[in-house]
Amino acid sequence: MCGISGYVGPRKVCDIIVKQLKKMEYRGYDSVGLSVVNENGIKTIKTVGRVAAVEKMVENANLSGACGIGHTRWATHGEPSVRNAHPHSTSKVSIVHNGIIENSEELKKWLESRGYVLESETDSEVIAKLLDFYYDGNPVGTLRKVSLLLEGAYALGILFYDVADAVFALKKDGPLIVGICDDEKFLSSDLNAILEYTNRYFVLEEDEIAVIKQDKIEIFGADNKEIKKAESVANWQAGVSDKQGFPHFMRKEIAEQPCVISNIILKNIKDGLPNFSADGIPDDYLNRFKRVCIVACGTARYAGLAGKNWIEKFARIPVDVIIASEFRYMDPILSKDTLVIFISQSGETADTLAAARLVKAAGINAIGIINTVGSSITREVDYNIFTEAGIEVAVASTKAYMAQIAVLYLFALKLGLLAGSLTTGKVHFFCNEFIDLPEILEQLFVDKEEKIESFAMLCLKFEIVFFTGRGLDYLLVLEGALKLKEISYINAQAYAAGELKHGPISLITKDALVIALATQGYVLRKTVSNVQEIKARGGNLLLLFKSGMDISEELLSNSIKLPRVGDDVMPFLAAAVLQLLAYHVACAKKLDVDKPRNLAKSVTVE
Ligand code: F6R
């Protein structure tokens, strides 16, 4: 949420910053701006809208210098407008901020009592004004002094008017990466935005201040002593974040899912059985738990719900799935025999990160199921299972969700094996079904996309769409409804099929569309009865069902037949179809599929 960039080096500063911001636009696209410092001080340009808008301004702005900072905003305090856009500059400093300053109102009053006029509605502007007030020619000392006054979360890029050869950075509870080349340096909220230039980087830790110069980087800890950090090397390649011929990142990321599952098979299945040794997790760590608690947000939480279903079924271990923003304030009851699992694509979601810190402080065992290597949550847990999905750019998560459920499926099998509730033969069988999935998924795209596209046209006619199903199907339609609403802006609600009669069925009329998922054999008859009840009330039906299921012809007029695989692996096929459906509806509505309104990827504020 909000992307920060910075550059120090011999190239055209504005060009590099604009390029980085384009790669981080998915973190927010309400306004955009940049500042450059040279011997004559700081110059700032900013505008509402997207990075392309500031790119145009750069052409005429004549900004020269070797150091700059940039920002793409997801509005928290104050509407998207030029005065609320970052950077926030004074004659002495310029700052870009990701996070929320919780005591900004108090600080504003304090600044006003000293004669400052706050021009914006943002919480961030107080940082610029405080730095301006305290600046005494010592940037690091001033940054530290001001950081002690700030409450909340802040990843900051900073320029000082009289230091034309350095970008400064300070972080607390927001991601910041410093990219390293021999003769140029980068600052970024996101590794992805600097991979084109370098794969060498430092991750800034809490309360660290970085002084980033062309030929060196100095990092100071909370005690202001210099710290020597080891460089990390990214194994992601630049270029994988291009659309590669697809019209949208979302469509490309959906297409990558067979490959994502193959990566997980290669890493987490050995000799036909689930294996987490590549993630360094010993069996004797995993076999001590009597309870599992999964904590996540949004799509990642829906993945957790599928995980609960599999863990309870395969390992007979009770599982709670808790929304991270609730977990952190609910005084959760955790004991030493509980394993807490944090699921996150970004590894930076503020609520999930805070929950992970809480669990760590309580001395409870925890693992992360995380996509982004080196992200903050990965540093708060005992072990991480990396989901190997590669960079996910589209705001709506697809391949990361698929990777999360893939890992959870194998993890549940592993727990089942260790708990003795599944035989080795049974686990072999389940793993074999899983190993077949990439090929089946590839074929599903080829066989069904045209039909899915035609059903997308049907969805367009409705302002409200209900999703329903039972068992794993219910957990899948929760995610299907989220995907549809977030990118197509259609009001989509998911209900357990058995719950319809307890209230929601009163909304079923000829103006409602119901998308029903019926892939679970053991509840098929029940689901079909519920679907009949919808039809009987004039509701329009789109049925997704598993091939070979006995369903009466009258329900099949609008239907998609999915390949026949075991009930427990049906979610992998159903998820892909629901993603494609949402995608084609959004395309048909000519919406900005990759950057839906009001949303941003990587939610680093509460
Ligand atoms: C929806 C979506 C979000 C994220 C949620 C958690 O498509 O992507 O609901 O799943 O914001 O994000 P991570 O997984 O980064 O913690």
Pocket lining: 300 vs ligand 1, CB cutoff 6 Å? yes
Measured distance CA(93)–CA(162) in Å, rounded: 9
Structure tokens at 61: 């702005």
pLDDT digits (tens, 9 = 90+) for 203-221: 999 999 999 999 999 999 9
Beta carbons within 8 Å of 125's beta carbon, 6+ residues apart: 88, 118, 119
Residue 472 pLDDT exceeds 60: yes
* 256 vs 174 pLDDT, higher one: 256
**Continuous H helices in 231-297:** 249-255, 257-268, 283-286
Q: Which atom of ligand 1 is nearest to the CA of 401?
A: 10
Measured distance CA(26)–CA(486) in Å, rounded: 14
Residue 200 CA to its chain's centroid (Å): 23
Residue 158 pLDDT exceeds 90: yes
Q: Whose CA is nearest to atom 8 of ligand 1?
A: 397
Residue 238 pLDDT exceeds 60: no
Question: Largest Cα–Cα distance of the chain, in whole Å?
Answer: 80
Question: What does the pLDDT read at residue 47?
Answer: 95
% residues pLDDT > 70 (the chain): 99
% residues pLDDT > 90 (the chain): 84
Residue 21 pLDDT exceeds 80: yes
Pocket lining: 352 vs ligand 1, CB cutoff 6 Å? yes
Q: Whose CA is nearest to atom 9 of ligand 1?
A: 298
Instruction: Report whether 540 contacts 513 (CB < 8 A).
Output: yes
* 61 vs 177 pLDDT, higher one: 177
- Measured in degrees and rounded to the nearest 5, phi and psi for residue 94 equal -140, 135
Q: Whose CA is nearest to atom 7 of ligand 1?
A: 396
Measured distance CA(400)–CA(398) in Å, rounded: 5
Q: Which atom of ligand 1 is nearest to the CA of 301?
A: 10
Residue 192: which pLDDT band, with cuts at 50, 70 and 90? confident
Residue 459 known to be catalytic: no
Q: How far is the CA of 376 from the centre of ligand 1 (A)?
A: 15
Question: What does the pLDDT read at residue 550?
Answer: 87
* 578 vs 234 pLDDT, higher one: 578
Pocket lining: 398 vs ligand 1, CB cutoff 6 Å? no
Residue 239 pLDDT exceeds 60: no
Residue the block writes with tokens 């914006």:
120
Instruction: Report whether 292 contacts 341 (CB < 8 A).
Output: yes
pLDDT digits (tens, 9 = 90+) for 336-370: 999 999 999 999 999 999 999 999 999 999 999 99
Of 185, 414, 483, 601, which is the active-site residue? Answer: 601
User: Average pLDDT of 391-406?
Assistant: 96
- Average pLDDT score, the chain: 94
Pocket lining: 392 vs ligand 1, CB cutoff 6 Å? no
Residue 492 pLDDT exceeds 80: yes
User: Average pLDDT of 298-323?
Assistant: 98
Q: How far is the CA of 57 from the centre of ligand 1 (A)?
A: 33
Residue 601 known to be catalytic: yes
User: Average pLDDT of 30-37?
Assistant: 95
| Choice from 305, 342, 345, 598 to test ligand 1 binding pocket (greatest atom count within 8 A of CB) | 345
Pocket lining: 600 vs ligand 1, CB cutoff 6 Å? no
Pocket lining: 486 vs ligand 1, CB cutoff 6 Å? yes
Q: How far is the CA of 159 from the centre of ligand 1 (A)?
A: 32
Q: Which atom of ligand 1 is nearest to the CA of 352?
A: 16
Question: What does the pLDDT read at residue 174?
Answer: 83
Pocket lining: 21 vs ligand 1, CB cutoff 6 Å? no
Question: What does the pLDDT read at residue 606?
Answer: 77
Question: What does the pLDDT read at residue 236?
Answer: 63
pLDDT digits (tens, 9 = 90+) for 407-459: 999 999 999 999 999 999 999 999 999 999 999 999 999 999 999 999 999 99
Q: pTM of this prediction?
A: 0.86
Pocket lining: 263 vs ligand 1, CB cutoff 6 Å? no
Pocket lining: 345 vs ligand 1, CB cutoff 6 Å? yes
Residue 146 pLDDT exceeds 60: yes
Question: What does the pLDDT read at residue 594?
Answer: 94
For 152-178, b/e burial (b = at least 16 CB within 10 A) is bbbbbbbbbbebbbbbbbbbbbbbbbb
Question: What does the pLDDT read at residue 237?
Answer: 59
User: Average pLDDT of 275-300?
Assistant: 96
Residue 75 pLDDT exceeds 90: no
Q: How far is the CA of 189 from the centre of ligand 1 (A)?
A: 17
- Measured in degrees and rounded to the nearest 5, phi and psi for residue 381 equal -120, 165
Instruction: Report whether 128 contacts 157 (CB < 8 A).
Output: no
